[in-house]
Amino acid sequence: MAIKFARRMKGLKGSEIRELLKLTENPEVISFAGGLPAPELFPIEEMKKISTLVLEESGAAALQYSTTEGFPALREHIADRMNSKNKTNITKDDILITNGSQQGLDFAGKVFLDEDDVVLCESPSYLGALNAFKAYSPKFIEVPTDQHGMKMDELEKILETTDRVKMIYVIPDFQNPTGRTWPMERRQKFMEIINKFEIPVIEDNPYGELRFEGENLPSLKSMDMKGLVVFLGSFSKIFCPGYRIGWTCAPKEILSKFVFVKQGADLQASSISQREVSKFMDIYDLDAHVEKLKEVYSRRRDLMLDTMAKELPEGLEYTHPEGGLFTWVELPSHLNAKVIMQDCLKNNVAYVPGGSFFPNGGKENCFRLNYSTMTDERIVEGITRLGAVLKQHMEV
């Protein structure tokens, strides 16, 4: 029997990377492939108290349906936070609570993309976003990047020659997968360009608060005078991903479309999750929690980069992220990270081969390393094993 699926399903395949990554679940393997927050830092004791408190104080409401836009007190907390951290000037009415920021990515595709429309993104970019957009059958144009993120002259060239661009997807802060951050001049130039071409922008920012050093930079959203920027935020990396609470902050005309598709998708985010996250912010200090995360992650980043400097062979390049969870390694162009990964697995160490972060393919000499979820001993041992495998490949 041949079941007839929608045309859009043709482009959606389980990736070979997923198969490869299944092998990293063996506990013998030191895997730098994940992108998870450190579980030992979750505030479990605090959340035990919070969940009791929420049920005692507002049990019926917590277990009932609620509005699509989200729990007002949580949206207030988010608006205050964005105004202080991201330099915006918004209110709770500019916020829709979503099921993780991942749902905001799917909604962006649904709201903006028709088949064969063009999405511009950084090259490389976040695989989960590329997959979410792929369900709407767009074409991708990758904008070249350097160590400071998207190259603005290249962006301008592409926009001057292509007229089907419907949306630009960017991660200006501690990007996944590269860990790179756009400096202020690039942000200003970017806004100049998009104001000229008037194209909606999805600014995905789950990592911005995890800055270990250097100066906090304003969001694109805060520089948006024309109502073009949709900001996606998340509690996953600064708190806990299990609640699945993220948000979309967008100009009214765009936000109303997101609210409409949220109704169709799942009516609302979980009432009880929203109330628990909000209550945590009422009685505990989320900033203090984020400080703790930054302390641990920055130490792990330092240890990983120091060990890489000692153990990896010469002739490769990697990023020195000022925050976030990842570093990105580029090998000499003739090497293939997917092939080398087979040898890494034999030596019980793993990373994510970089090819799938490029929507149009063709770049295989790179990989992503995560440092947030690993003990010091495993970081040192894992990078030492990785260095030994890479040396073998680079000597041939």
| x/- letters, 31..60, toward ligand PMP (CB under 6 A) | ----x-------------------------
Question: Would you count residue 206 as binding ligand PMP (CB under 6 A)?
Answer: yes
Question: Would you count residue 246 as binding ligand PMP (CB under 6 A)?
Answer: yes
Closer CB to ligand PMP, residue 94 or residue 204? Answer: 204
Angle at alpha carbon of residue 130, lines to 127 and 132, rounded to 5°: 110
Closer CB to ligand PMP, residue 174 or residue 190? Answer: 174
In the block, tokens 């989960």 appear at: 128
- Decide: 138 and 120 in contact? Cβ < 8 Å: no
Number of residues that bind ligand PMP (CB under 6 A): 14
Question: How does DSSP classify residue 213?
Answer: S
Binding residue (CB under 6 A) for ligand PMP from 82, 95, 171, 335: 171
Question: Would you count residue 178 as binding ligand PMP (CB under 6 A)?
Answer: no
Question: How does DSSP classify residue 110?
Answer: H
Binding residue (CB under 6 A) for ligand PMP from 107, 126, 297, 371: 126
Residues 88-107 that bind ligand PMP (CB under 6 A): 100-102
Question: How does DSSP classify residue 116?
Answer: T
| x/- letters, 315..354, toward ligand PMP (CB under 6 A) | ----------------------------------------
How many residues belong to the chain? 396
Neighbours of 4 (CB within 10 A): 6
Local structure of 124: helix, strand or coil: coil
- 101 — phi, psi (to 5°)? -75, -15
Question: Would you count residue 169 as binding ligand PMP (CB under 6 A)?
Answer: no
Give the Cα separation of 200 and 202 in Å (integer). Answer: 7
Closer CB to ligand PMP, residue 219 or residue 234? Answer: 234
Q: Could you tell me whether strands 165-170 and 201-204 are parallel, antiparallel, or unpaired per DSSP bridges? A: parallel
Question: Would you count residue 70 as binding ligand PMP (CB under 6 A)?
Answer: no
| x/- letters, 133..162, toward ligand PMP (CB under 6 A) | ------------------------------
Question: Would you count residue 234 as binding ligand PMP (CB under 6 A)?
Answer: yes
Give the Cα separation of 41 and 293 in Å (integer). Answer: 7
Neighbours of 7 (CB within 10 A): 9
Closer CB to ligand PMP, residue 113 or residue 171? Answer: 171
Question: Would you count residue 204 as binding ligand PMP (CB under 6 A)?
Answer: yes
Q: Is the dihedral of CA 44, 349, 128, 35 positive or negative?
A: positive
- 4 — phi, psi (to 5°)? -95, 110
Nearest to 248 by CA among 111, 66, 43: 111
Question: Would you count residue 313 as binding ligand PMP (CB under 6 A)?
Answer: no
Binding residue (CB under 6 A) for ligand PMP from 86, 176, 268, 271: 176
Residue numbers of the site for ligand PMP (CB under 6 A)?
35, 100-102, 126, 128, 171, 176, 204, 206, 234, 236, 241, 246
